[in-house]
Structure 1
């Protein structure tokens, strides 16, 4: 039995208001045995912050889910998980050691329940520095060297640098995203559909006054995008000159800015399904204008949720979506290596090219509510997880939290 207690510990999104879930009395088992089995609802227990629940569980999703026999039930975090349900699927986006421990214990006690997604894998993705760390465990040393060299020769990716004073495990972690993308390219051979890389990056966890020297040693070129180390911190900055670098607040990751025509591609992954949405992004930066753009430009995130570019009159070379085969291979490999089924990647196409792309960010359980038709994609995905007949379980009243 999982022990009770409040979940989240105040870390990140772990602080969620408790919701009481009332269960209808169980029918007598002998009567059930004599009666023909009726179609049973697919019960999805969810543990989300109130903000996330509101944006994700929109009326159009709830309505379609009901029609398809899917019931969303709020998890009461004041009670042990094993005392609730029964659930077919647990959907969550909470952080914190206590929540991870409770969920792992629940998974061990109830292996028949699908948990979306494993808390350990989510934690890796939430930290920009250790994101995709598991690639370091792959036996791909030969291909890594070749892929890295090829990426540098092509001007795509260029590798990631670290400060000399960083710990050894951090040095391995900061290479993870670049190495993962490079190894996928090398192993799958999807170069015929396009080249994918990661901009040069630098992990900074030192006195701000020393950042300009560290940037120079690492060989990074201005301007640089400054990203907080924790991925859920969405405020980003664009630093144009060395002086502006000293105004940043570590720990953070500095990433070379790549001109991309002011458009990025939000690639949503829901199981095997892939959907791509164009978003307006930062405009191109003219190197000759850098002296006129001194300082730090702060913005909420690379892409603005309200700035959908799908219906805009754009240059066809800028608006053209990445090739479908390239996205399918990339999504498949990331699913397999990350152990996640719900995430998105932000991709850009280098301005002036047609087949040179960069992955600039990844997020677990992104804002699917902004994805057109997400209610159909998500309900189909949930139903696809049911691979066998479930035993008849007690049904719920319409208490959906």
Structure 2
């Protein structure tokens, strides 16, 4: 069929253009073509020269907005257009796909696949084109995956991934999800719930998911295990059924392994096992002290706080850690009477507020490699209590994704000589990797003033690891996936 796909051209008639300001900016077809740029695949819109000038201007302006090209052709024919496209892209070497409407209506799209090479005289050569038929443009990434896989004799690992569009684009912009093979032999393609999952996964050797993006609701059950009942979107449910019934697709991290990071109580209970890593004469790494409450009006709350070694202020978090909007609604409580009527969703976790000189260490685990970054964090308790905005000591309410209260330059306690024991934290990272059965995850560490205890205050699955430079993070990310697939094949 030719070489690896290096260019895609879509006939304007497939775009279903809408006139009006901004209507085309979120056109899924343009968003789909934009993904190709992140895989170093040239993408363009073709249009016939006979089109009205107004439509041509709209095409060109929208294409430019999405960093796409516009290619004029004299006719959208199977013979003329490929030749003109080849002439317009003289430096491209590989396979070009040209998509146009199918005159027979069903399937609705004809895809012409033809090879090009810079040293070939297009005017005297005859393209040996192949015809591929599609019902929807959403099939394009899967089609490219098939062509690329065949072009390199199937000696690759194909990874189908699913996550919300904004997260996908953040990863793709960094080059994390190329449709062309990576140096270590991976091809990525997006799974879409617009197409049957079973058909897509026939091409996949591995599945990478951010399942928390597909959660509709989480119902907690305090009386038995598991402590939660998760409802996923219809598409994710279909994917889950397929995973359970098929053995050839390897989950980079299984759905069952991410469940503990959805439940703050469960993950804190797991973190209690960090005590086994402590060594005499050295600082220790530990979980924060915590208490689960089902009702902030519990009559014995004060005694329960004392039994849990909790003092005020304390930070209060919903037990559900992610996947639902209210999971990030938190509060810092300074007086015990203010627990009554607190707006944080229950069941909730009351957690130790660790004075840590406003310094947070974010750790990222990518397979066997561990990276970290230092970030500004919440001020120490005494600074929060002295703040002019806190004179009444009412609870400080915030959304941890949007409005986390961080220290300013003059809000440090003065005790900032915190020494990170990197070896200890890496040992904890490996311990967590074994305990959770995860390969790609992150966790946050703060160092307690005075004791120098290293306290893990949060664990999350498939973080962005954006603080790690792309040239280091992305190849390590690929290697973690490849090693996971290899290790599963050996079992």
> Does TM-score exceed 0.5, indicating one fold?
yes
Equivalent residue number for residue 367 of structure 1: 464
Alpha-carbon contact 1:234-1:301 (below 8 Å) kept: yes
Aligned counterpart, 1:358: 455
- Structure-2 residue corresponding to 1:130: 266
1:81 is aligned to 2:161: no
* 230, 242, 245: which one aligns with 2:339: 245
Corresponding residue of 1:218? 305
Aligned to 2:362: 266
2:442 is equivalent to residue 344 of structure 1:
yes
Q: Does 1:50 align with 2:138?
A: no
- Greater shift, 102-111 or 45-54, is seen at 102-111
Separation (CA, whole Å) in 1 of partners of 2:254 and 2:138: 25
Q: Alignment partner for residue 20 of structure 1, among 138, 141, 153?
A: 138
**SS at structure 1 position matched to 2:176:** helix
- 1:117 and 1:314, CA in 2 relative to 1: closer, same or farther beyond 3 A? farther
Structure 1 CA distance, aligned partners of 2:137 and 2:311? 50
Q: CA deviation at 1:275?
A: 0.6
What is the deviation of 1:347? 1.0
Hey, what does 2:207 align to over in structure 1?
A: 90
CA distance in 2, matches of 1:90, 1:364: 15
Give the 3-state SS of the residue equivalent to 2:396 in structure 1.
Answer: strand
Distance 1:303-1:357 versus aligned 2 partners, 3 A rule: farther
Other-structure match for 2:377: 281
SS of residue in 2 equivalent to 1:282: coil
2:254 and 2:146 map into 1 onto residues whose CA distance is: 33
Of 242, 250, 255, 1:106 maps to 242
Superposition RMSD on alpha carbons, in Å? 4.0
SS of the residue corresponding to residue 180 of structure 1 reads: helix
Larger RCO of the pair (alpha carbons < 8 Å, separation 6+)? 1
Structure 1 residues 150-204: Cα deviation after superposition (integer angstroms, max 9, x where no partner): xxxxxxxxxxxxxxxxxxxxxxxxxx2353223x42xxx5556531122221112
SS of the counterpart of 2:264?
coil
- Superposed, which structure 2 residues align to 1:79-228 within 5 Å? 79-85=195-201, 86-94=203-211, 95=215, 96-97=231-232, 102-131=238-267, 176-182=269-275, 184-185=276-277, 190=279, 194-206=283-295, 208-210=296-298, 213-219=300-306, 220-228=310-318
State whether residues 19 and 76 of structure 1, in contact with CA within 8 Å, keep that contact through their aligned partners in structure 2: no
Structure 1 107/190 Cα, relative in aligned 2: closer, same or farther at 3 Å?
farther
- For the pair shown, which has the larger CA radius of gyration, 1 or 2? 2
Tell me if structure 1 keeps the 8 A contact 2:162–2:191. Answer: yes
Query: What is the CA distance between 1:296 and its match in structure 2?
Result: 1.3
Q: Which moved more, 1:271-280 or 1:247-256?
A: 247-256
Range moving further from structure 2, 60-69 or 233-242: 60-69
TM-score by length of 2: 0.55
Q: What is the aligned partner in structure 1 of residue 479 from structure 2?
A: 380
Matched, 1:231 2:321: yes
- Describe the shift of the 1:372–1:316 C-alpha distance in structure 2 as closer, same or farther (beyond 3 A): farther
Shift of 1:372: 3.0
Match of 1:61 among 176, 196, 217: 176
The structural deviation recorded for 1:384 is: 2.8
Cross-structure match for 2:124: none
Following the alignment from structure 2 to structure 1, what is the Cα–Cα distance between the partners of residues 384 and 146? 75
SS of aligned partner of 1:20: helix
More strand by share: 2
Shift of the alpha carbon at 1:217? 3.1
Number of equivalenced pairs: 314
Q: Would the alpha carbon gap of residues 372 and 226 (structure 1) be closer, same or farther in structure 2, given more than 3 Å must change? A: farther
Q: 1:335 corresponds to which residue?
A: 433
| Mapped partners of 2:448, 2:145: distance in 1 | 59
Unaligned runs of 5+ in 1: 1-16, 133-175, 391-401
How far is the alpha carbon of 1:222 from its aligned partner? Answer: 0.4
Q: Any idea what SS the aligned residue of 1:377 has?
A: helix
Offset at residue 363 of structure 1 (A): 1.1
Change (3 A) 1:348 1:367: same
Q: How much has 1:351 moved relative to structure 2?
A: 0.8
- Contact persistence 1:41–1:70 (CA under 8 A): yes
Q: Is the 8 Å Cα contact of residues 126 and 364 (structure 1) preserved in structure 2?
A: no
